Amino acid sequence: MIRFACPKCRAVMTAAKAGAKGKCPRCGHALEVPLPQPAEVEVIDLPTVLPADEPEEMVAPSRKLFVGCVSFLVTTAAVLLLAGGVGAVYWLSHLSGPGEDAEAPLRPDFTLDVDQLVESYRAKVAADARYKGKVILLSGSVAATDQDGGGFVVTVSNGLEFGNRVFCYFPARERAAVEGLRARQFVHVSGRCAGFRGRALWLMDCRVVEDPSP
């Protein structure tokens, strides 16, 4: 896995393939996965015990080479473990919410349609203070679905070609639900409001709600 940071908001992410393109789930900035940087190799000089008939200058370099290879393998393994751990912590903390089971259904704080949510933000009536970080049960029409890194982005609109729309990020575990969506299908989506990122209004950690009634 390749660990890298968004150049705009410095969010740390991981990806499996260099050159892959997508958007930062935090700020919406367009990204391209960079080539992995080679790990630094630290060569440790260990004391050597030399046979009486073998010169030191012939034995020590070979032992240094062996130690260098072992150090490189250990460093590489540590970097991979660290990258995987940081990636897991990032997705759990930024998408699922603190102290919340990622598999448990999210109880909505607000039930809104696309127009209600978008117009609240455009009216500048402290929408972030009211909605950001809260779970929104959003209703609207599927305008587009795209794969983004390890997850999916579903664009939910008010049904008009150039109407209001909200970008909903679905983690990889929701693949089956996303693949079952069709263009112009009316859906209910539950997700955590992330506010505007650039010109786009985002919901994170989304899932399709088949029956929104309590």
Q: Give the count of domains, the chain.
A: 2
Which has the closest alpha carbon to 28: 195, 144, 184, 142? 195
For residue 154, CA distances in Å to 10, 45, 165, 169, 200 come to 24, 55, 10, 7, 13
Does residue 104 belong to any structural domain of this protein?
no
Does residue 214 belong to any structural domain of this protein?
no
**Above 80 in pLDDT, residue 57?**
no
Residue 174 is classified by DSSP as G
Does residue 35 belong to any structural domain of this protein?
yes
Does residue 153 belong to any structural domain of this protein?
yes
Considering the domain architecture, whether residues 115 and 89 belong to the same structural domain is answered as: no
Distance CA 165, CA 189 (A): 13
Taking a C-beta distance cutoff of 8 angstroms, is the pair 13, 4 a contact? yes
pLDDT of residue 102: 47
Last residue of a domain, one of 26, 61, 96: 96
Domain extent, residue 81, equals: 2-96
**Above 60 in pLDDT, residue 54?**
no
Does residue 101 belong to any structural domain of this protein?
no
Q: What is the pLDDT of residues 158-175, one digit of tens each?
A: 999 889 999 999 999 999
Which has the closest alpha carbon to 107: 6, 209, 204? 209
**Whole-number average pLDDT of the chain:** 77
Considering the domain architecture, whether residues 23 and 91 belong to the same structural domain is answered as: yes
Average pLDDT over residues 68-83: 65
Considering the domain architecture, whether residues 183 and 157 belong to the same structural domain is answered as: yes
List the alpha helices (DSSP H) in 48-187: 56-91, 114-122, 127-131, 175-179
CATH number at residue 146: 2.40.50.140
Which long-range contacts (C-beta less than 8 Å, at least 24 apart) are formed by 195-199?
A: 195/121, 195/127, 195/128, 195/131, 195/132, 196/121, 197/24, 197/26, 197/27, 197/28, 197/29, 198/27, 198/28, 198/29
Considering the domain architecture, whether residues 199 and 118 belong to the same structural domain is answered as: yes
Considering the domain architecture, whether residues 88 and 124 belong to the same structural domain is answered as: no
- Read off the pTM: 0.51
Residue with structure tokens 């080479």? 65
Average pLDDT over residues 121-129: 82
- Which residues fall within 8 angstroms of residue 88, CB to CB, at 6 or more apart? none
Does residue 34 belong to any structural domain of this protein?
yes
Last residue of a domain, one of 48, 73, 96: 96
- Confidence band, pLDDT 50/70/90 cuts, at residue 122: confident
Nearest 10 degrees: CA dihedral of 84, 90, 96, 98? 120
pLDDT of residue 85: 46
Does 45 or 106 have the greater pLDDT score? 106
Considering the domain architecture, whether residues 128 and 197 belong to the same structural domain is answered as: yes
pLDDT of residue 197: 87
Last residue of a domain, one of 96, 124, 154: 96
